[in-house]
Amino acid sequence: RAAKRLRDLFHEIHNKGAPHPWIRDDLWDQLVEFWRQEDFKKLKEVNKQNRASSTGGSLHTGGSTTYEATRDRMTVELGHTPTHSEVFERTHTRKEDQLWVDKRSADVNEAFLA
């Protein structure tokens, strides 16, 4: 939560263009210089395009749990190493009703199984 709050705070002060009271003047000058660099501007544009992508992102229900950790948990639960398809289904369906989280996930699974 703290990392998210800090990220949001930096985003806010970057957009506002004014330093927060806790940022020293010399550090503010360094931040402004960093934000003016061409590499930062390119990265910002790439991220903007990715967020606006019409293909959408990968919706999943695993949170920050890695694929390997999910597979390991399922191995204990199922008594065998789960297939890629089983792990994908576990991480892309809702726990309460076992429905796919989005149409794209269902389509990817269907194409994989075909």
pLDDT of 47 reads 81
Tokens for 69? 């950790």
Structure tokens belonging to residue 104: 């794209």
Are 41 and 14 within 8 A, CB to CB? no
Euclidean distance between CA atoms 81 and 65, whole angstroms: 17
Confidence of residue 79 (pLDDT cuts 50, 70, 90): very high
d(CA 31, CA 23): 10
Q: What is the pLDDT of residue 37?
A: 95
Give the integer Cα–Cα distance in Å for 10 and 27: 12
Q: How many helices (H) and strands (E) does the chain have?
A: 6, 0
